Structure 1
Amino acid sequence: MTRAGRCARPQGHPKEFLLKKKIATAILIAVSAQLASADGLKSLESFMKGSQTGRADFTQVVTSPPKDGQVARTKTSSGTFEFQRPGRFRFVYKKPFEQTIVADGQTLWLYDADLNQVTQRAQAQALGSTPAALLASAPDLSALRADFTLEAAPDQDGLQWVLARPKAKDGQLQSVRVGFAGEQLAALDILDSFGQRSAIRFTGMQSNAALPAATFQFKPPQGADVVKQ
């Protein structure tokens, strides 16, 4: 199908890139905080040291606050994510549009298959205003608490929740709720400074999965438009 035959959507990517970056940050918070509510601080630190990789499927619903009397808008997407300490992760959005985000430890890549466009940024620059780089390799609980306040939140939807708030006030991430079913990561609820909420639900979570090195490598497809930021 030609591009003209596809459903139209906005062409600009700054907000979309920021949203995906915030989601990436939230995932890395979850990677660090998975056992906080279930087994306490010692279990949290044990998980941070012992869980070096992971993979899962996800469904994401983004809700934008209403404007000018209109109802709130929602967008639903789904895909897979994988991570490997330190500082490597891969998101693949499969529906409704194909997008891939790869952090290889040095560069953050965002590939939009529909537009055949790649956005390339230095990973330290892209995630430097957030604790994502630290959280990907945080060695212990004290390192995590240096940048976030963590507290137990009320049970909801059959899950136990941990609330994480960044201590830095100059970022766009306001808070993240991390949900657990027993000791299994099950959900993220992300709130940004614009009032936009992203609800992510995980299935098939695998900790310490064997992930090929190529998982966290990216090469722009031939003919793709590469934009460096």
Structure 2
Amino acid sequence: MKKIATAILIAAAASAASADGMKSLESFMKGTQTGRADFTQTVTSPPKDGQAARSKTSTGSFEFQRPGRFKFVYKKPFEQTIVADGQTLWLYDADLNQVTQRAQAQALGSTPAALLASAPDLSALKAEFALESAPDQDGMQWVQATPKGKDGQLKSVRVGFTGDRLAALDILDSFGQRSLIRFNAMQANAALPATTFQFKPPAGADVVRQ
């Protein structure tokens, strides 16, 4: 009886903990329309030919306005800017002085950006992803998001929250590469200027339209 009672308590605790993830996601979708934060991104490639897995770390800033607008500015170790203005997705590589321009509707779909900025509400998010709560970890509540479309490169995303504030993205692609993005000093519902998500290719930059 003691073992059964313990098992029931563990199951109940796990259920309560996992329910917090979906509750946090719902609160975030309802209550946070804009935001800005700094981020650290660690990309880990799967090991090859018996070698250990390799990781690369980048830092930068992030801003979003739902639905459909966001901006990642990578500052170290390489400068790169990704802007979605609601119609077009721009990617600027400073070292190459090259801009890639794509139609936003075709470029996003079932991507982590849809979790952050594209979906206007939770029901729209559920149309693109199968969502389920995951156990608490590292002081955060987590939601597992699996794309319903099977033709993309994204395998799954875990979204971490501290309360109703976005705290992390743990992204796994179909090649086994993992990207962990941690957001720092997140400002929810920050007042963002209208120019935040406007992008104009720098003078002399090569523009590639896809």
Instruction: Give the TM interval when normalised to the shorter protein.
Output: 0.7 to 0.9
The 3-state SS of whatever aligns with 2:170 is strand
Aligned-partner residue type, residue 107 of structure 2:
A
Q: Look up the equivalent residue of 1:176 and give its one-letter code.
A: V
| 8 A Cα contact 1:117 1:224, kept in partner | yes
For structure 2, list consecutive stretches of 5 or more residues without a partner in the other structure.
Answer: 1-17
Shift of 1:149: 1.6
Q: Summarize the Cα distance change of 1:217–1:134 in structure 2 as closer, same or farther, 3 Å threshold.
A: same
Task: Assess if the C-alpha contact under 8 Å between 1:109 and 1:118 holds in 2.
Answer: yes
- In the other structure, the counterpart of 1:38 is 20
When normalised by structure 2's length, the TM-score is: 0.83
Q: Give the drift of 1:130.
A: 4.6
> When the two structures are superposed, what TM-score results if normalisation uses the length of structure 1?
0.77
- Corresponding position: 1:50 with 2:35: no
Please, which of 58, 68, 86 is the counterpart of residue 49 of structure 2? 68
Number of residue pairs matched by the alignment: 193
Superposition deviation, residue 159 in structure 1:
2.0
- The answer for unaligned runs of 5 or more in structure 1 is 1-35
- Sort the Cα spacing of 1:127 and 1:72 in 2 relative to 1 into closer, same or farther, 3 A: same
Tell me which residue corresponds to 1:10. none
Distance apart, 1:134 and its partner CA:
8.5
Q: Kindly indicate whether the alpha-carbon contact (under 8 Å) linking 1:91 and 1:102 is maintained by their aligned counterparts in 2.
A: yes
1:190 paired to 2:168: no
* Distance apart, 1:131 and its partner CA: 8.1
Q: What does residue 228 of structure 1 align with?
A: 209
Which letter does structure 1 place at the counterpart of 2:153? Answer: Q
The RMSD of aligned alpha carbons is: 2.2
Larger Rg: 2
Task: Read off the aligned partner of 2:20 and give its amino acid letter.
Answer: A
**152, 157, 163: which one pairs with 2:133?**
152
2:6 is matched with: none
- Structure 1 pair 139/200, CA: closer, same or farther in 2 (3 Å)? closer
Shift of 1:221: 0.6
**Percent of matched pairs sharing the same residue:** 83
Q: Is the 8 A contact 1:37 1:162 kept in 2?
A: no
